[in-house]
Amino acid sequence: MKVFSQSQEFNFPKHEGRDLQFKKGEFLFIEGEVEDGVFFISSGAVRIIKKKWVLWTANSQELIGISSFFSEGSKYSFSAKASDDCKIVKISHDEFQMMLEENQIFGKTIIEMMCNRIKYTNNRLRSVMTNTSRFRLINEIINKSRETKNQTIFYSLEELSELVGISKRLVRSMLAELEKKTLLSRSKNAIIINDLKGLEIIAMKENL
């Protein structure tokens, strides 16, 4: 969910060290580090990872680090890793506190955003509790293909492992099985879908 729409500009005070840039694969912060403010994504996308699993992907115009801002231990409860080249605005702890206390619209927007994130996480929880890991893996591949409108998708084993929440070994073995059935083929970090319908049928059977 976008925090600020195009028409709703929010002016962050300018000062040195606020505007940051991260290359794809770089970490904004690591799980367990001392909380040092929240991060606004000006452009790019950031994966939120806990215990080697992607909890969600934050996109441009979103804020990250809010739940850690309020945590008692004052540490980040997850890692944030750039999944594209990113431009980030860092908002210090005190500044964020001030914005919440002084700007009611800002507070309302954050409430809405937090509600959406909880809903998304609970839906994933339901999916994990009711779907097999094979279904989740195939579903991730199908969804990525639909999203990019391309039969070739670019995922490393590590990325798929983080996104689906299963080990790399299991991802490798499941992909090999699907490759054997000629439903897909692999080349380095690319997965080429040969039979989308076939994948959908397997996913459907898994979910029965």
Rounded Cα distance, 173 and 137, in Å? 11
User: Residue 90 CB: number of other CB atoms within 10 A?
Assistant: 17
- Half-sphere exposure (CA, 13 Å, Cβ side) for 72? 0
Could you tell me which stretch among 2-10, 16-24, 99-107, 149-157 binds other proteins (CB under 8 A)?
Answer: 99-107
CB 3 → other proteins: shortest distance, Å? Answer: 13
CB 145 → other proteins: shortest distance, Å? Answer: 24
From its phi and psi, is residue 119 left (phi > 0), alpha (psi between -120 and 50) or beta?
alpha
The single residue among 22, 78, 135, 155 that binds other proteins, judged by CB under 8 A, is 78
CB 37 → other proteins: shortest distance, Å? Answer: 15
Of 11 and 70, the one with the shorter C-beta distance to other proteins is 70
CA distances from 206 to 122, 132, 145 (A): 21, 7, 19
Contact indicator for 80, 64 with CB cutoff of 8 Å:
yes
Per CB under 8 A, 100 contacts other proteins:
yes
* Residue ranges in contact with other proteins by CB under 8 A: 31-32, 50-51, 53, 55, 66-71, 73-78, 100-102, 104, 107-108, 110-112, 114-119, 121-122, 124-126, 128-130, 165-166
